[in-house]
Amino acid sequence: MPVTKLILHHIINTITKFLGNLSPSYIVWPSVEEGRSIASQFEELGFPGTIGIIDSTYIKLDWSSEDPDSYLNRKKFYSIQA
């Protein structure tokens, strides 16, 4: 059964709100000194002005009959990222 845009919208909103409620426990600003140290390390890797990175999550889908290649991820299964 294909996932409709309405269901997909609901899933993304639910996950976003859930993660937003958890974020204060996991996403914190570093102190000025920590920020400088972190930024220095990211700059060495080619990411100037960066003090943090947030990874995304794959939400597995069966497949989409409309443009399935747009949903095939690098891990070779159909998904969206949230």
For all residues of the chain together, what is the average pLDDT? 85
Question: What are the structural domain ranges in the chain?
Answer: 5-81
Per-residue burial over 23-61, b if 16 or more Cβ lie within 10 Å, else e, is: eeeeeeeeeeeeeeeebeeeeeeeeeeebeeeeeeeeeb
User: pLDDT class for 60, splitting at 50, 70, 90?
Assistant: confident
* Segment 61-75, tens digit of pLDDT: 877 677 888 888 888
| Strand-pair partners of 60 | 79
pLDDT value for 1: 67
Look-up of token digits 């845009």: 5
H runs (alpha helix) in 2-44: 5-26, 32-44
pLDDT value for 33: 95
In terms of Cα–Cα distance, which of 3, 65, 63 is closest to 76?
63
Of residues 26 and 18, the one with the higher pLDDT is 18
Of residues 56 and 22, the one with the higher pLDDT is 22
